[in-house]
């Protein structure tokens, strides 16, 4: 993985973030936007950020769970935390390709093969998508007519799990891939990739981690709910249902447009538009709400991730002799890793 290339993509994404801010400012009128920013109850911001941190903590628990499933042993919690949070700094790269940085850093720190840990990102995305669908379900009945998008995500997720768990079909796909000249030489790596995917997408694992994802996303929904309260909305169960519909649907829409870094532009447009329609907010107030919740749930994590990446990079640079495994424990073979993992 080329870290310099990732930095370049990150800078482009930061530029896009500035453009999104300018676009919202033009849409809402910059003067009105500033007035709405002044009206926000900023005393609620620490609570919004605290909920975001809780979300990251729960996601780290999921990361730890997946590492154990694929047989990663002996990795110190502090190293694992720095690796995971370093990935947060790259969520705004196109297609979230920078999140594969976690697998690269895991190999550098612990020696775990890239193809063994890479499927973790797939499992994370699948469980997140299912959690978002669950949270948005009530709102779909009350406010939306988005069953097409809902079913595409649901059916697509189910199909991927079924493919990963049905070994004969997966083996057939690998054999077909073997016949492609440019790809066949990567077959051993693809087999390891599949074995990890098969373990991570076990039904019991999917159910457990989807439940954990629901808890982590509820933290973000609560953060958005607080932002709406800070902008003058009246606390009510209906407002919470609206928040639990707006944020997940906008996030899913951004995820579908995967080439946009961090869903920039798509998520902001969805949150702003739905807030105006469902919460009856003005352009400027909806735009301010969008900017605050995106700072709390996206850019705040990016800042944490960049700090973590800086600390981990410095640590690796200062101890080159320990780079293959800071935990001083070689990664187990694929057979060893999968042999004691629950099926």
DSSP calls for 254-316:
HHHSTTSGGGTTHHHHHHHHHHHHHS---HHHHHHHHHHHHIIIIIHHHHHHHHHHHHHHHHH
C-alpha 150/C-alpha 152 separation (Å) is 6
In a domain, 6, yes or no: no
Q: What pLDDT score was predicted for residue 150?
A: 62
The share of the chain scoring above pLDDT 90, in percent, equals 29
126 lies in which domain range? 60-337
Res. 302 pLDDT band, cuts 50 70 90: confident
Q: What pLDDT score was predicted for residue 133?
A: 84
Residue 68 has pLDDT above 90, yes or no: yes
Burial of 132 (0-12, 13-18, 19+ CB in 10 A): buried
Instruction: For residues 248-263, give the mean pLDDT.
Output: 71
- The residue among 331 and 45 whose pLDDT is bigger is 45
Contact 115, 129 (CB under 8 A): no
In a domain, 1, yes or no: no
Instruction: For residues 282-310, give the mean pLDDT.
Output: 90
In a domain, 34, yes or no: no
Instruction: For residues 162-183, give the mean pLDDT.
Output: 64
In a domain, 52, yes or no: no
In a domain, 25, yes or no: no
**How many distinct structural domains can be found in the chain?**
1
pLDDT digits (tens, 9 = 90+) for 11-52: 666 777 777 778 887 777 888 888 888 889 999 999 999 999
pLDDT digits (tens, 9 = 90+) for 208-239: 999 999 999 999 999 999 999 999 999 999 99
In a domain, 10, yes or no: no
In a domain, 165, yes or no: yes
In a domain, 20, yes or no: no
Per the structure block, which two tokens stand in for 77?
């919690």
């Amino acid at each position: 993985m080329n870290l310099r290339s990732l930095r370049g993509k990150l800078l482009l994404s930061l530029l896009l973030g500035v453009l999104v801010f300018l676009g919202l400012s033009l849409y809402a009128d910059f003067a009105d936007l500033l007035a709405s920013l002044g009206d926000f109850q900023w005393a609620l911001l620490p609570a919004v950020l605290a909920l975001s941190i809780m979300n990251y903590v729960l996601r780290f628990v999921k990361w730890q769970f997946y590492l154990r499933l694929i047989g990663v042993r002996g990795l110190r919690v502090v190293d694992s935390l720095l690796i995971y949070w370093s990935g947060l700094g790259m969520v705004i790269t196109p297609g979230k390709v920078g999140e594969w940085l976690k697998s690269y850093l895991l190999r550098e720190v612990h020696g775990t093969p890239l193809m063994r840990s890479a499927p973790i990102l797939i499992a994370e995305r699948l469980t997140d998508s299912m959690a978002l669908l669950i949270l948005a379900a009530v709102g779909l009945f009350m406010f939306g007519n988005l069953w097409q998008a809902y079913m595409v995500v649901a059916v697509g997720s189910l199909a991927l799990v079924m493919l990963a768990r049905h070994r004969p079909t997966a083996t057939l796909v690998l054999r077909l891939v073997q016949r492609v000249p440019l790809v066949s030489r990567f077959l051993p790596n693809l087999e390891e990739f599949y074995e990890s995917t098969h373990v991570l997408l076990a039904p019991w694992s999917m159910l457990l981690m989807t439940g954990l994802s629901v808890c982590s996303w509820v933290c973000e929904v609560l953060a958005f709910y607080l932002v709406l309260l800070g902008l003058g909305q009246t606390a009510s169960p209906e407002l919470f249902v609206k928040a639990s519909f707006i944020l997940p649907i906008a996030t899913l829409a951004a995820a579908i447009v995967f080439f946009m870094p961090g869903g920039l532009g798509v998520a902001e447009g969805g949150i702003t538009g739905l807030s105006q329609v469902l919460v009856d907010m003005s352009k400027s107030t909806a735009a301010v709400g969008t900017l605050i919740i995106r700072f709390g749930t996206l850019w705040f994590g990016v800042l944490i991730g960049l700090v973590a990446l800086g600390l981990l990079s410095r640590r690796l640079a200062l101890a080159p002799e320990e780079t293959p495994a800071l935990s001083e424990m070689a990664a187990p073979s694929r057979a060893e890793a999968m042999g004691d993992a629950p099926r």
